[in-house]
């Protein structure tokens, strides 16, 4: 089973739009949306939720008011300024470390598992989608990302599907690290802007740090042709293959507005470039790049799953 993770260094470069286009082109796959902070993939794929699961991670203190003597020990030990003599005064500051609970002389504080969000299995136009929603201002987005990937792998295994396409989170921090670790291929969707080039550098460092194969897709490549050329030269000097160049197109905007992928639009002007991108990925991952009619038929008949 191969796992393609689409990342970007920063947000808004077109990860979700490109992931959706790839989902449209790839014949047999499970989809995963690992942007758990601001998941959007369900909006372009017509997702209907089949299963909802609670995600628990981390801990939060529960205080037994009858046992608390308000001695103030917790206040002096809490490094995050979250508790004052047995009263959680700033819940958003609490990191759930349990120092208050473990050191309370009255044993008045218990640490309980915290509900940190939900994850879902949905049906979409392109197959099954695993996605999630992180609770507001909750940490552990990395853990939720790992959970989504784990469930996507489970589904791909049971349904004998050869590929997982993951719409990754932006950035290079905890969620991005969690989405990338152990992936078969990371595809960076980047823009030819000065910030895009800067962010690609940092993303390449991260991929290097985790020894992950990284390929590049330049989105909005006609926005600044000079920067695009410079980016390609830079990628080649670093040994990073450029799998696609997608010209600037307003169709992406209109597609997003109508809840469709850019390939489903009647006058899609980027079809050719997106197909080349997919073929490059498929040949790199040694996957069949085109759906044979037999495959389609089997998929529809749902026999050999």
The nearest distance, CB 54 to other proteins, in angstroms, is: 18
The SS3 call for residue 8 is coil
Question: Which residues, in sequence order, are CB contacts of 166 under 8 Å at separation 6+?
Answer: 3, 4, 5, 6, 19, 31, 32, 33, 34, 149, 152, 179, 183
209: left (phi over 0), alpha (psi -120 to 50) or beta: alpha
Shortest Å, Cβ 290 to other proteins: 30
Nearest distance in Å: CB 271, other proteins: 21
Nearer to other proteins, 221 or 268 (CB): 221
By beta-carbon proximity to other proteins, the closer residue of 80 and 234 is: 80
CB of 148 to other proteins, least distance (A): 15
Identify how many contiguous H helices and E strands the chain contains and give both numbers: 11, 11
157 sits in the region (left: phi over 0; alpha: psi -120 to 50; else beta) called alpha
- Residues near other proteins (CB under 8 A) are 8-13, 16, 35, 37-38, 40, 43, 58-59, 77, 79-80, 92, 95-99, 102-103, 111, 134, 136-139, 141-142, 169-177, 191-196, 198-199, 202, 205-206, 209, 223-224, 227, 248, 253, 256-257, 259
Nearer to other proteins, 8 or 128 (CB): 8
Considering beta carbons, is residue 12 or 293 the nearer one to other proteins?
A: 12
Long-range pairs for 231-237: beta carbons < 8 A, 24 or more residues apart: 231/190, 231/192, 231/196, 231/197, 231/200, 234/197, 234/200
Residue 280, helix vs strand vs coil: helix
Least separation, in Å, of the C-beta of 27 and other proteins? 26
Q: How far is the CB of 250 from other proteins (least distance, A)?
A: 9
For other proteins, the closer of residues 81 and 288 by Cβ is 81
Q: Under a CB-based contact definition with an 8 Å cutoff, are residues 75 and 18 in contact?
A: no
Residue number, 1 or 99, with CB nearest to other proteins: 99
């Amino acid at each position: 089973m191969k796992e393609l993770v689409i990342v970007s260094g920063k947000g808004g470069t077109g990860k979700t739009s490109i992931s959706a286009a790839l989902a449209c082109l790839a014949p047999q796959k499970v989809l995963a949306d690992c942007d758990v902070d601001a998941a959007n993939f369900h909006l372009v794929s017509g997702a209907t939720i089949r299963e909802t699961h609670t995600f628990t991670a981390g801990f939060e203190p529960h205080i037994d008011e009858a046992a608390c003597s308000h001695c103030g020990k917790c206040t002096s030990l809490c490094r995050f300024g979250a508790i004052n003599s047995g009263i959680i005064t700033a819940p958003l500051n609490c990191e759930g470390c349990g120092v208050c609970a473990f050191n309370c002389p009255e044993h008045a504080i218990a640490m309980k598992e915290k509900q940190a969000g939900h994850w879902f299995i949905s049906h979409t136009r392109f197959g099954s989608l695993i996605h999630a929603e992180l609770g507001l201002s909750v940490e552990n987005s990395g853990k939720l990302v790992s959970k989504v990937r784990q469930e996507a792998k489970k589904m791909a295994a049971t349904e004998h599907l050869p590929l997982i396409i993951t719409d990754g989170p932006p950035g290079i921090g905890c969620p991005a690290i969690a989405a990338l670790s152990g992936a078969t291929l990371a595809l960076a969707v980047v823009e030819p802007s000065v910030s895009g080039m800067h962010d690609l550098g940092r993303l390449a460092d991260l991929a290097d740090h985790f020894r992950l194969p990284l390929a590049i897709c330049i989105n909005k490549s006609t926005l600044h042709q000079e920067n695009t050329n410079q980016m390609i030269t830079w990628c080649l000097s670093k040994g990073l293959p450029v799998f696609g160049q997608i010209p600037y197109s307003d169709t992406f905007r209109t597609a997003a507005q109508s809840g469709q992928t850019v390939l489903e639009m009647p006058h899609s002007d980027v079809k050719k470039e997106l197909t080349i991108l997919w073929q490059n990925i498929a040949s790199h991952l040694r996957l069949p790049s085109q759906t044979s009619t037999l495959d389609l038929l089997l998929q529809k008949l749902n026999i050999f799953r």
